[in-house]
Amino acid sequence: MLATFLVAVALACAPQVQAYAFPDCVNGPLANTTVCNTSASPSARAKALIAMFTTSDLISNTVNSSPGVARLGLPAYNWWSEALHGVAGSPGVSFAPSGDFSFATSFPEPILMGAAFDDEMIKAIATVISTEMRAFNNAGRAGLDAFTPNINPFRDPRWGRGQETPGEDPFHISQYVFNLIQGLQGGIDPPLFKLVADCKHFAGYDLENWMGNNRMSFNAIISQQDLAEFYLPMFQTCVRDAKVGSVMCSYNAVNGVPSCADTFLLQTILRDFWGFDDDRWVTSDCDAIANFIDHKFSPDLPHAAATGINAGTDIDCGSTYGNNLAAAVSLGLVNVSSIARAVTRQYTSLIRLGYFDPPASQPFRQLKFSDVNTPNAQQLAYEIAVEGIVLLKNDGTLPLSKSIKKLAFIGPWANATTQMQGNYQGTAPFLISPFAASQEAGFTSTFTPGTKINSADTTGFAAAIAAAKAADAIVFGGGIDDSIEAEGMDRNTIVWPGNQLDLVGQLAALGKPLVVLQFGGGQVDSSALKSNSTVNALLWGGYPGQSGGTAVMDILIGKVSPAGRLPTTQYPANYVNEVPMTDMSVRPSSTNPGRTYKWFTGTPVFEFGTGLSFTTFSLAFTGSPKASYNIQTLVAAGASAAHLDLAPFATFSVSVHNTGKVASDFVSLLFMNTTAGPSPFPKKELVSYVRTKNVGAGQTATANLPVTLGAIARVGDDGSASLYPGDYTLLLDVPTAVTFHFSLTGTQAQITNWPAAS
């Protein structure tokens, strides 16, 4: 997707849908035609509609801002709506200046929602988002599809868009998106879609503009092993298992072919291997078709347009198709039937959304503004912020002592409002900053910025120090924001920007209780804060959304105990000097220390899965886990599964005993390592997780952790996964609290057959 400033340009320059309308199947030109016959199949209805299109009609409706067909009473429709963490401003979404539909619930960015490791909560939040977007659509203010979610794994901490993702781990992202899609679309492949979601960016996209390497022309060199094991598992889950309605191909090339021109990605893998059928469509990222020229893959725009359609990119988010397909047809570069296939896929999707059906028969058509930002939605926005916030360090200062009455809030995030939303945001109904939340909690608080996010100016230090001296405790809010990490802009360093740490150092020297709040999607090296004993506590809060300040404050005062876990690795600052962003390999080598917690050979500042609590837990495997499993027996038992990689291996039960004095949630993270299969071997990899809610002081809960065959399989050089005989270890929690050893016996068995690249 385009950067925020480019979106503004698009809004100003591109043809816009001012208000959405529905076709009139009672009195309009389409009445009594097959497309309005609700007893016909979606495919038959779409084909009947497209048969009425002229070639000019087909071409004009291949772009995101589709004009419809006036003579058929077919309204205009904009396919580019956004709903990453709430209904969001975009060419297809319009907020009213005031009153009804002037706002929508603003949830935290996905990076913080992912830190909750609470998949049921993700489904509930997605259900709210789809409800609100339907209400906006009924008012003519949003489309029925959303260009969300972004599920590219957060491979490199410098990436400007990592905040949009759930984190770095493929298994975690896969579980997240499986639940998210159900909430957005109304289930797994329901007969009537609630919304059509769009999994992006397919594939290998995680670079914006780094050292002259621009996403519009970057060629990502990725092995089939890394594609199958790291870059694509979440897309497989989204497409094959959650049955998403659309996919967005990315700006970059993969192994020399632009993603939106890549038949291996768009046909061999997406449609043939994963079963992405003709009820579903592929859209380009915005202007990615025109970027074929930047890749030096197409000589001109007519060739680019033809290449995109022929490869299976059905919608051009842009104008290249609309302006150049006629020339491509006349040159014999593309057949009209291929264009008709693309448009048929689009309208099949709209038919499954009830676009042509009587509104009285559709519950989603009854939703209105009273269904937006309901008390339930507000509570979910607060709860997921609380659940995702991660306590990285605490010497006992938190929760704050009841004797503390005066707080000094200092730093560029301490009074954040819109800053808390991150990117791809809508207009929030309210935004509660940490400073404001402290006042609501009854503290006598002051706010002094002290410095900006990325500034060398120290003139604000004196006022900050004075405010701190007058307080009982100090809360510094800083980190990074969209001025540092953004679409179109990667980072070159992962240090705290500007002079924020200098100010923290001076505050720490005062000897008062000092809590540091670190915000932002990408991690920064907090080694200095971790090692400084006068920095008493450190929390990471991502971009926490409309109730972010309340969530932070409720943790500071101990109203709730933190239980979030870091969804990414926090690397030392020198990591950026050890491997270029352009190196897409994840395994360690002589020029690469390895990527993510699975492969990084160095010592992280805070590792993936780190997260402290205000209480303590004792963990133990319960029952009698088997110490040995036969591969052939496992494969035979899994034969009835929809896919062998989803067949169950075992469910491990864990006793979660709260040995402390306060109730708390607990996230059980189950990892595995082995030296079976192809080398090198990952340090460990996540195979299951679950969040157990509200374990009371002194109480014991049971966490059940199901593990599939795919989770314990290893991926070979060709991308295929197999079960290998050998010794395996399960590792529970971060840092590891309990281990369990088991072995696989028998002979190697392949459980997936990765397609061969052409």
Q: Mind telling me the catalytic residues?
A: 285
Contact assessment for residue 521 and residue 494, using Cβ atoms and an 8 Å cutoff = no
Encoded tokens for 248: 């967005």
| Angle formed at CA 144 by CA 107 and CA 352, multiple of 5 degrees | 130
Residue keyed to tokens 């943790």: 555
* Token couple for 664: 């708390």
- Nearest 5°: CA angle at 97, between 96 and 101? 30
Contact 208, 200 (CB under 8 A): no
Work out the number of other CB atoms within 10 angstroms of the CB of residue 735: 8
User: What values do phi and psi take at 686, rounded to 5?
Assistant: -70, 130
Contacts of 72 (CB under 8 A, 6+ apart): 29, 30, 49, 52
The string of DSSP codes covering 718-749 is: TS-EEE--EEEEEEETTTT-EEEEEEEES--E
- Within 336-411, residue ranges assigned H as helices are 336-352, 375-388
Report which of 80, 71, 55 is spatially closest to residue 340, judged by C-alpha positions.
55
Structure tokens at 63: 């772009």
What is the C-alpha separation between 244 and 255, in angstroms, rounded? 26
The DSSP output letter for 417 is: S
Residues whose CB falls within 8 Å of the CB of residue 619, separated by 6 or more in sequence, listed in order: 654, 655, 656, 657, 668, 732, 733, 737, 738
Q: Residue 476 is inside which H or E element, if any? A: strand 473-479
Q: What angle do CA 78, 63, 308 make, to 5 degrees?
A: 145
Q: Of 132, 225, 223, 121, whose CA–CA distance to 175 is shortest? A: 121
Compute the distance between CA of residue 159 and CA of residue 209 in angstroms, rounded to an integer.
9
CA dist 267 and 194 (Å) reads 26
Q: Minimal CA–CA distance to 14: which of 70, 80, 102?
A: 80
Distance CA 482, CA 266 (A): 32
Distances (CA, A) of 47 to 53, 162, 316, 385: 10, 40, 20, 45
> How far is Cα of residue 624 from the mean position of the Cα atoms in its chain?
37
Which amino acid makes up residue 587? R
As a 3-state breakdown, the chain gives helix, strand, coil percent values, each rounded to 5, of 30, 20, 50
Buried b (16+ CB within 10 A) or exposed e, 375-404: eebbebbbbbbbbbbbbbbbeebbbbeeeb
Q: Residue 532: CB partners within 8 Å, gap ≥ 6?
A: 505, 508
DSSP string covering 10-67, please? HHHHS---SS-----TTTSTTTTSGGG-TTS-HHHHHHHHHTT--HHHHHHTSBSEE-
φ, ψ dihedrals at 3, nearest 5°: -65, 165
Task: Return the structure tokens found at 133.
Answer: 């977007």
Which residues have a Cβ under 8 Å from the Cβ of 636 and sit 6 or more positions away? none
Report the SS3 class of residue 570: strand
